[in-house]
Amino acid sequence: MKFEVTILGSSSATPVYNRNPTAQLLNCNEKFYLIDCGEGTQQQLIRFGFKANKIDFIFISHLHGDHYFGLIGLLSSLHLNGRVKPMMIFAPAALAEILTLQFKHSETVIRYPIEFVVIEADKSVQIFENADLTVETIILNHRIPCTGFAFVQKKRLRKLMVEKLEAEQVPLEYYPLLKRGVDLDLPDGKVLLNIDYTTDSERPKKYCYCSDTLFDEGYFETIKGCDTLYHEATFLHEMLDRANQTHHTTALQAAQIAKDTGAAKLLIGHFSSRYKTLQPLLEEARSVFENTELAIEGNTYSI
């Protein structure tokens, strides 16, 4: 099952050096989840060959503009391009107020249903669940209420050894129970031990998205054991005072967090406009946590 994230924007605060404000596209089993939506996200989707209309779920971490100014444009374009299927938006309550005001003054009545789910940034809770995954909020520590998101795949059913089952002419109606791990005592006395006819499915994976935040152990429990941890790394550690003052993280701290929470891989992004080249941020993080990568726009990272 596909579980991967494409970076659409990696810049903090303002667009610069051809880097755009934050946005990421998560693909889980060909369902598309947009995480944050900085200005120009719809242009980035076009640029990298994605159809915006495939997105059914949008998660907005907080109401600093570099994380949501592109949302109204994306929603408007979907409307103009004839979308009819619903869109779920998970965001702070005030975003609904902003969108409503903008639609009102353009006299736009959006043709497709928008289901708006209000996020509270007080305690970590599950906000979404479908057949593929659950989404839990991560309570970050920023200048305004801000949540990250933990996307956790569900355990899949066991895989059938189909050739063996067919060879032994096991009836099809037994397959669903076998997938669920059940041993079967058949009426003819035969016993089908599950272990002989199935293999375990892939281990469910966990992707955590943390932007923007001060280094704060308060959210470590929620992000424990990520397969991929995306963490903001706005500054080099030499700018720690500035990071603390603006409630951001340094590359060194992001790496320390990945290490402390047992992540398998770290992806850093939300780069300050002061860094024209990003190699120093990568090297700093790798000095603490080797398996670090830069969030490069247009790149897709398997989780």
Residues labelled catalytic:
66
Subset of residues 132 to 151 that bind a copy of itself, contact rule: CB under 8 A: 143-144
State how far the Cα of 197 lies from the Cα of 125, in Å rounded to an integer.
38
By the rule CB under 8 A, 125 interacts with a copy of itself: no
Binding range to a copy of itself, per CB under 8 A, among 90-98, 222-230, 280-288, 295-303? 90-98
Query: Is residue 142 a known part of a binding site?
Result: yes
Instruction: Work out which of 94, 125, 177, 186 binds a copy of itself, going by CB under 8 A.
Output: 94
Instruction: Work out which of 36, 39, 132, 284 binds a copy of itself, going by CB under 8 A.
Output: 39
What lies within 8 Å, CB to CB, of 270 at 6+ separation is: 10, 11, 12, 22, 211, 212, 232, 233, 234, 248
Write down the least CB distance from residue 10 to a copy of itself, Å. Answer: 14
Pick the closer one to a copy of itself by CB: 12 or 222. Answer: 12
On whether the CB atoms of residues 37 and 60 are closer than 8 A, the answer is yes
State how far the Cα of 139 lies from the Cα of 162, in Å rounded to an integer.
44
Query: Is residue 237 a known part of a binding site?
Result: no
Q: How would DSSP label each residue in 249-292?
A: -BHHHHHHHHHHTT-SEEEEE-B-TT-SS-HHHHHHHHTT-SSE
Q: How would DSSP label each residue in 44-84?
A: HHHHTT--GGGEEEEE----SGGGTTTHHHHHHHHHHTT--
Write down the least CB distance from residue 98 to a copy of itself, Å. Answer: 6
Binding range to a copy of itself, per CB under 8 A, among 100-108, 151-159, 167-175, 235-243? 100-108
Pick the closer one to a copy of itself by CB: 97 or 290. Answer: 97
Binding range to a copy of itself, per CB under 8 A, among 95-103, 114-122, 160-168, 219-227? 95-103
Write down the least CB distance from residue 42 to a copy of itself, Å. Answer: 6
Write down the least CB distance from residue 229 to a copy of itself, Å. Answer: 26
State how far the Cα of 178 lies from the Cα of 198, in Å rounded to an integer.
7
By the rule CB under 8 A, 114 interacts with a copy of itself: no
On whether the CB atoms of residues 55 and 34 are closer than 8 A, the answer is yes
HSE on the CB side for 190, CA within 13 Å? 6
Binding residues: 62, 64, 66-67, 142, 212, 270
Binding residues for Zn(2+): 62, 64, 66-67, 142, 212, 270
